Amino acid sequence: MTETLKMIEADGSAPSFNGALDDKALVYCYRTMLMVRAFDDICMKLQRSGRIGFSIPNKGVEATQVGAASALRSTDFFFPSYRDFGMALHHGAEPVEMMHNMFGNASDSARGRQMPVHFSFTKPLRFFSISSPIGTHLPQAVGAAFASQAQGKDDVSLASFGDGGTSSTGFHSALNMAGVWKAPVIFLCQNNGWAISLPSSGQTASDGYAIKAKAYGMPGVTVDGNDLLAVNRAVSEAAERARAGEGPTLIEAFTYRMGGHSTSDDPTKYVPAEELEKWAKKDPVLRMQRFLAQRGLWDEALEETLQAECAAEVAAAAKEAQATPGPTLETIFSDVYETLPNHLRRQGEQAFDLAARKGDADAGGGAFPL
Amino acid sequence: MIEFKLPDIGEGTAEGEIVKWLVSTGDAVKEHQAIVEVMTDKATVEVPAPADGTITELLVGEGDTVPVGDVIFRLDNGGGAPAQAASPEPAAAPSAPSAPTAPSVPSAPTAVAAQPEPSGGKVLAVPSARRVARELSVDLGTVAGSGRNGVIRRADVEAAATGGAVAQSSHSVVAPSTAQAQRIPFRGVRRKIAEAMVRSSQTAVHFTIVEEVDVTDLVRVRQKAKAIGAEQGIKVTFMPFIMKAVANGLMKFPMLNGHLDEQAEEIVLPGTVNLGIATDTPNGLIVPVISQVESKGLLQLAAELGDLSERTRAGRVRPEELRGSTFSITNAGNIGGTIATPIINFPDIAILGVHRIVKRPGVVDTPEGEVIEVRQYMNFSCSVDHRLADGADAARFVAYLRQILEEPALLSL
Ligand SMILES: Cc1ncc(C[n+]2csc(CCOP(=O)(O)OP(=O)(O)O)c2C)c(N)n1
Ligand SMILES: [Mg+2]
């Protein structure tokens, strides 16, 4: 395995930190991590009480998300995985917007047409809709980077994916093209130990994931994914190279998924308890907290304030989203064609007529829409 | 009031087992507070409260498996009309908690149920059903699924393994006919009844003995008792007399009173008579229990019966009042039928079906010789589990019932 970049020591000291993020930015990063946790927590409760259909926990990987986001501009292209919404939060996405998506209601930007957690944000963000199929967004990230390069712009593209994602065909296509074209793209492989229930050790015969970069003619870097400063530095350096026309980088962030894969998963059936305990000691939030405390930026009072703010904000977001009605039936037919083709218009009329006679689609079985 | 329905906790979960209630009726709870532990095919999870409020009712017993979408508890959140917390489908009729089976005379077939889809093609089954099917060597293609969209549940496989005919599933291809078939979700109380019936009829070896009883004297006595009861505001029907006779009979023939403890491989004869009274309610048959019948007088039985059946019909019966029967009585008397083959209220040993009183000419012994008179008759159909008692026991029991009901003074024996 390539040498692992690490900056925050267990006691919170970070001798090699060069002030890349100022005090305000550091505290803001920490707050974003807490917000990710608060959002996760409430979504789990909402899902278990049947109010939303699905959720994906992020516990353990917050430093990777927020560290990477803090190294990029909000106008860079984000091609995230489903465990990356911390990146959007960091660049100003509102919890309530996300909550509308969790409920799939009329205020959801996708009008309930996407799965919960599959956020997308535009203007100023370029946060592309999270895609469920593993690895398909990697070639898209290369395409966006290639376009940016062709237009002479200095926007870079971030493709974020899991250890499992490296087994997809998209991974090979994307890294190969990016290497050939020297596209300004950063491949962030979040090795969080698991692809659902398959341990990372079963995913590849390589010595880690960063080493795969060599085959595609780009640098590969391994970074401690629970260390926000280290992730920030690795991604900053990759972005600099990309903006300077030096091409792509593959970063392996070594971290750990401390929760289940999703709300449909029971990790206690396969995650060894000792392994979880070991990683709990390396909790990225505590790590960052210790670093801030060492710099005199953190105390109990701040913690209480931030926790209370985050909890209140996500609770208010959930209330609002829950009270917002579902998308109207018309949205089945809207947002695709500027002028509706005749066959769809006819279908629409029939549907509206049926709804008028039988009541709205809410009368359906309430099954999770898969 | 929130009717909380078991949500689809995973992706496409069909059912969940109630592992443990973490609150009790009457508890004040906060939104997000854990209420119940539920185990599904995929995970065991804590289900939290959807709002602040007071728990007014827990509707499912621990250890029971319920389909997704069934109401499992009620939460008074200060709101008015029932709101649904989980799936937004119309609320299922409120049900009594896991009614311990519903013995009854079999009812006339109501509608022709849909036939299960034939074997072959893609089989939809929850993972635990697949595992159990492997373990029991059951071909899933031959099992009718009772879950949503015909998904096969574990219970379906188990039922199929213990002898086939599962309770009809609501799963079939849409028939090309233009007639409007009615489709009723097969769940809730109906499903509980079905499961209990299947268990009883596939485990107990039923035989039924029918006896005719001349109740002419009993009708007269009851008329007088009715007047006395009315003074105290108690409605006296024939039921207390029958209950009393049954209790006397069971004390004399104790091998018909009790249940089989299959685990311990012991027949349990409790020495007291707790009578399950099959009660027809808007939600299906429910069997509340009146205990220690042998030690109670007729008026007391009449009073308890009136109160219990009223609360059962209103859905206000307590879970503990639905447990512990040692024998059951099912009364189809005022509807029709002359004999029946009642299904035993499993795991009881026996059940008595009571029929309506009819007037018929009868041969009566008088000092002047045999004469034909207008008499009143009532039939009793008694089903017994032949594994636990024999035909002679049952015959002696019903003969004794006849003897004391034909001469009601003997009730005080
Ligand atoms: C093409 C494809 N195959 C399979 C799946 C099912 N699936 C969903 S998530 C997942 C595991 C992905 O693991 P990893 O890339 O390590 O990401 P993590 O969940 O650990 O963040 C799989 C196999 C899918 N969504 N898409
Ligand atoms: Mg992974």
Please choose, from the candidates B133, B143, B145, the residue with its C-alpha nearest in 3D space to the C-alpha of residue B67: B145
From the CA of A164, how far away is ligand 2's center (Å)? 5
Contacts of A368 in chain B (CB under 8 A): 8, 11-12
In a domain, residue B89? The reply is no
Using 50, 70 and 90 to split pLDDT, how confident is the model at B105?
Answer: very low
Q: Do B218 and B311 have their domain in common?
A: yes
Does ligand 1 have an atom closer than 6 angstroms to the CB of A195?
Answer: yes
The pLDDT tens digits of the residues spanning A174-221 come to 999 999 999 999 999 999 999 999 999 999 999 999 999 999 999 999
Q: Which of A50, A266, A269 sits opposite B87 (nearest CB)?
A: A50
Q: Do B125 and B181 have their domain in common?
A: yes
The pLDDT tens digits of the residues spanning A285-315 come to 999 999 999 999 999 999 999 999 999 999 9
Q: Do A186 and A92 have their domain in common?
A: yes
The residue contributing the CA closest to ligand 1 atom 20 is: A195
Q: Do B126 and B234 have their domain in common?
A: no
Encoded tokens for B383 = 């089903």
Radius of gyration of chain B (CA): 24
**In this complex, do A366 and B10 lie within 8 Å of one another by their Cβ atoms?**
no
Residue B88 has pLDDT above 90, yes or no: no
Number of domains forming the structure of chain B: 3
Q: Find all residues with CB under 8 Å of B195, minimum gap 6, and list them.
A: B155, B159, B167
Using 50, 70 and 90 to split pLDDT, how confident is the model at B151?
Answer: confident
**In this complex, do A48 and B46 lie within 8 Å of one another by their Cβ atoms?**
yes
Q: Do A98 and A206 have their domain in common?
A: yes
The pLDDT tens digits of the residues spanning B326-349 come to 999 998 666 788 899 999 998 899
- Taking the CA of residue A262 as reference, the ligand 1 atom at the shortest distance is 19
Q: Do B23 and B165 have their domain in common?
A: no
**In this complex, do A51 and B45 lie within 8 Å of one another by their Cβ atoms?**
no
In a domain, residue B300? The reply is yes
Q: Do A265 and A354 have their domain in common?
A: no
Q: Which of A265, A362, A368 sits opposite B8 (nearest CB)?
A: A368
Check residue A108 and give its pLDDT: 94
Please choose, from the candidates A42, A80, A86, the residue with its C-alpha nearest in 3D space to the C-alpha of residue A63: A86
Q: At what angle do helices A169-181 and A137-150 cross, to 10 degrees?
A: 20
Nearest-neighbour CA in chain B from A268: distance (Å): 9
Nearest-neighbour CA in chain A from B85: distance (Å): 7
Contacts of A364 in chain B (CB under 8 A): 88-89
Encoded tokens for A271 = 């995650």
Q: Do B114 and B153 have their domain in common?
A: yes
Task: Convert chain B into a string of H (helix), E (strand) and C (coil).
Answer: CEEEECCCCCCCCCEEEEEEECCCCCCEECCCCEEEEEECCCCEEEEECCCCEEEEEECCCCCCEEECCCEEEEEECCCCCCEECCCCCCCCCCCCCCCCCCCCCCCCCCCCCCCCCCCCCCCCECHHHHHHHHHHCCCHHHCCCCCHHHCECHHHHHHHHCCCCCCCCCCCCCCCCCCCCCCCCCCHHHHHHHHHHHHHHHHCCEEEEEEEEECHHHHHHHHHHHHHHHHCCCCCCCHHHHHHHHHHHHHHCHHHCCEEECCCCEEECCCCCCEEEEEEECCEEECCEECCHHHCCHHHHHHHHHHHHHHHHCCCCCHHHHCCCCEEEEECCCCCCCCCCCCCCCCECEEEEECCCEEEEEEEEECCEEEEEEEEEEEEEEEEECCCCCHHHHHHHHHHHHHHHHCHHHHHC
Per annotation, catalytic residue among A233, A257, A287, A290: A257
Domain of B303: which CATH number?
Answer: 3.30.559.10
Q: At what angle do helices B216-231 and B298-313 cross, to 10 degrees?
A: 80
Distance of CA B44 to the CA centre of its chain: 29
For chain A, the average pLDDT equals 93
For chain B, the average pLDDT equals 83
ipTM of the complex: 0.72
- Best of B32, B40, B52, B131 to mutate (most A CBs within 10 Å, chain A): B32
Q: Do B214 and B294 have their domain in common?
A: yes
| Mean pLDDT, residues B81-95 taken together | 44
Q: Do B214 and B342 have their domain in common?
A: yes
Domain boundary among B185, B200, B227: B185
Encoded tokens for B217 = 């004297």
Check residue B193 and give its pLDDT: 81
Domain of A10: which CATH number?
Answer: 3.40.50.970
Could you tell me what percent of chain B has a pLDDT over 70?
A: 84
Q: Do A292 and A276 have their domain in common?
A: yes
In a domain, residue B90? The reply is no
Domain boundary among B185, B206, B223: B185
Check residue A362 and give its pLDDT: 54
**A82 HSE (CA, 13 A, CB side):** 24
Per annotation, catalytic residue among B171, B259, B355, B386: B386
**B197 HSE (CA, 13 A, CB side):** 21
Residue B243 has pLDDT above 60, yes or no: yes
Sequence-ordered strand ranges (E) for A164-219: 185-191, 194-195, 198-199
Q: Do A145 and A235 have their domain in common?
A: yes
Q: Do B295 and B151 have their domain in common?
A: no
Q: Do B15 and B110 have their domain in common?
A: no
d(CA B131, CA B145): 15
Check residue B118 and give its pLDDT: 41
Report CA-CA distances (Å) from A79 to A127, A249, B214. Answer: 6, 15, 86
In a domain, residue B94? The reply is no
Contacts of B148 in chain A (CB under 8 A): 365, 367
Q: Do A315 and A184 have their domain in common?
A: yes
**B358 HSE (CA, 13 A, CB side):** 15
Ligand whose nearest atom lies closest to the CA of A134 = 1
- Best of B3, B6, B45 to mutate (most A CBs within 10 Å, chain A): B45
Residue A365 has pLDDT above 70, yes or no: no
The pLDDT tens digits of the residues spanning A257-272 come to 999 999 988 898 899 9
**In this complex, do A365 and B89 lie within 8 Å of one another by their Cβ atoms?**
yes
Q: Do A279 and A348 have their domain in common?
A: no
**In this complex, do B49 and A364 lie within 8 Å of one another by their Cβ atoms?**
no
From the CA of A226, how far away is ligand 2's center (Å)? 14
From the CA of A74, how far away is ligand 2's center (Å)? 25
Structural domain that includes position B265: 191-412
Q: Do A305 and A345 have their domain in common?
A: no
In a domain, residue B95? The reply is no
The residue contributing the CA closest to ligand 1 atom 25 is: A133
Domain boundary among B185, B212, B228: B185
- Taking the CA of residue A261 as reference, the ligand 1 atom at the shortest distance is 19
Q: Do A127 and A276 have their domain in common?
A: yes
Does ligand 1 have an atom closer than 6 angstroms to the CB of A260?
Answer: no
Q: Do A150 and A284 have their domain in common?
A: yes
In a domain, residue B173? The reply is yes
Q: Do A152 and A99 have their domain in common?
A: yes
Domain of B51: which CATH number?
Answer: 2.40.50.100
Task: Give me the residue label for tokens 């309506």.
Answer: B356
Q: Is B206 a catalytic residue?
A: no
In a domain, residue B91? The reply is no
| Closest chain B CA to residue A267 | B43
The pLDDT tens digits of the residues spanning B22-62 come to 999 999 999 999 999 998 876 778 999 999 999 999 999 98
Number of domains forming the structure of chain A: 2
Structural domain that includes position A197: 4-323
Q: Do B233 and B261 have their domain in common?
A: yes
Residue A18 has pLDDT above 80, yes or no: yes
In a domain, residue B297? The reply is yes
Q: Do A24 and A62 have their domain in common?
A: yes
Encoded tokens for A213 = 């970069």
